[in-house]
Chain A
């Protein structure tokens, strides 16, 4: 496993960082949470952040924390789907397709919620789950998996996630369409 400084990765995949933080901000605004500071991109750790008020509303917390995960994943699928066939299957030398693939992978790579986001959910979810909050119950295994994957970032889990989504989703999509 080779080491590449985080700021280099962030610089190479900056669209993903911006979209991730925009996702946080969008859901904060949607659920009317106070936002104290926003950084869409910077050369530092973290590469971007949204500082918002704490909330007991699990639904709000879930979407603010997990929203970017779903949004980045979806955009990754869309862009990679547009580029998957020419790049991987058809072997067409199309610069635009390569650009879309880079964009898709950059966005997919930054889908994972931060450890802080996951910690917030992990604190609130068990109590809400006990009270029968379905979203909290469903989010527990997801948060657990993402927690582990977050630590596996050292082993490029975020990149593998982006590639996995950007390759497997289009394959599944096209195979289903070919039926």
Chain B
């Protein structure tokens, strides 16, 4: 400057004052950290800010909690994994294989709406009503959080269908022993099959009831055809005896000795198959006596009638 007062450069940054705590170092500068002045303690602090003790303890606790959470949650992970597996199998229509997974889930979480509904669905679509009943009734007496959910409505519809079918089966079983009710019993069984085709063995059982209808209607060819089919599908003492019974009927109405020979053969087979089973032997004694009577007398009478005549008012099936 050519005129006026002499100028002086004044630094706006006073390196004698700590930038963080404001400590004044008098005439001496504080050492620069980066390009800023800090006192010794602040300089140490800003370059290596310590984690407070309480924070370290808290973080250690958090880690412990994390471990606890994972260990504690192990059984839930297992149950959840089983549920998702079961759910996937249900979605794929593999209901039989879904059952054990969903049952495993319910052992740990019996209150899970989702698992109960999935298990009930799988059980009902496999035809095992007892599992569904146990799951549904064991779940707060059958109460669910959301009765409007699609899964609930689906299981509800399946359940209603299964129960209706079971009622028909029960009624059919009761009246099947009554004279002249075989056709009605068979009709009820077929209605049950139509209502609940998922139940294993129900269609076969309905065919057994058809035997009764054919017998009652004196349609012995159909009676024989059905019993032969049953015998081929499920060879056993009772199916063999049913064939013997039908052959005895054919002998009774035709007098063809071949039928008598075949009936005796089948009765023999039936006897062979009951060997070692006291219950089956008792049943064999009951029906073999009637079949032998039919072969000897060529008279076809129902079981109740046979019982009335020869067994002092015992009731029984034809």
Enumerate chain A interface residues (CB-CB to B < 8 A): 15, 18-19, 22, 25, 28-29, 32, 34-38, 40, 53, 75, 78-79, 81-83, 85-86, 89-93, 96-97, 100, 103, 174-175, 177-179
Given A34-B33, A91-B112, the answer on whether A22 and B69 have CB atoms closer than 8 Å is no
Q: Are A90 and B105 in contact (CB-based, < 8 A)?
A: yes
Q: Is B127 an interface residue (CB 8 A)?
A: no
Q: Roughly how many angstroms separate A28 CA and B72 CA in the complex, as a whole number?
A: 34
| B273-303 contacts to A (CB < 8 Å) | none
| A177-B59 contact in complex given A85-B79, A97-B73, A103-B65, C-beta closer than 8 Å | no
Residues on B lying within 8 angstroms of A by beta carbon are: 20, 33-34, 36, 45-49, 51-52, 55, 58-59, 62, 65-66, 68-70, 72-73, 76-77, 79-81, 83-85, 87-88, 105, 108-109, 111-115
CB neighbours (8 Å) of A82 from chain B are: 69-70, 72-73, 76
Q: Are A89 and B66 interface neighbours, CB within 8 A? A: no
Secondary structure call for the A interface: helix
> Main secondary structure on chain B at its contact with chain A?
helix
What's the Cα separation between A53 and B73 when bound, in Å? 42
**Known contacts being A22-B55, A85-B76, A96-B72, is A29 close to B48, with CB within 8 Å?**
yes
Q: Is the CB of A85 within 8 A of B111?
A: no
Contact between A92 and B88 (Cβ–Cβ < 8 Å)? no
| Residue among B33, B62, B87 with max Cβ neighbours from chain A (10 Å) | B62
**Closest A-B pairs by Cβ, 4 of them:** A178-B84, A90-B109, A82-B69, A85-B80
B residues less than 8 Å from A25 (CB atoms): 49, 51
A75→B63 CA distance, assembly (Å):
10
Q: Are B81 and A18 in contact (CB under 8 A)?
A: no
Set B47, B70, B76: member contacting A32, Cβ < 8 A: B47
Q: How distant is B237 from chain A, measured CB to nearest CB, in Å?
A: 46
Residue of A nearest to B45 (CB): A35
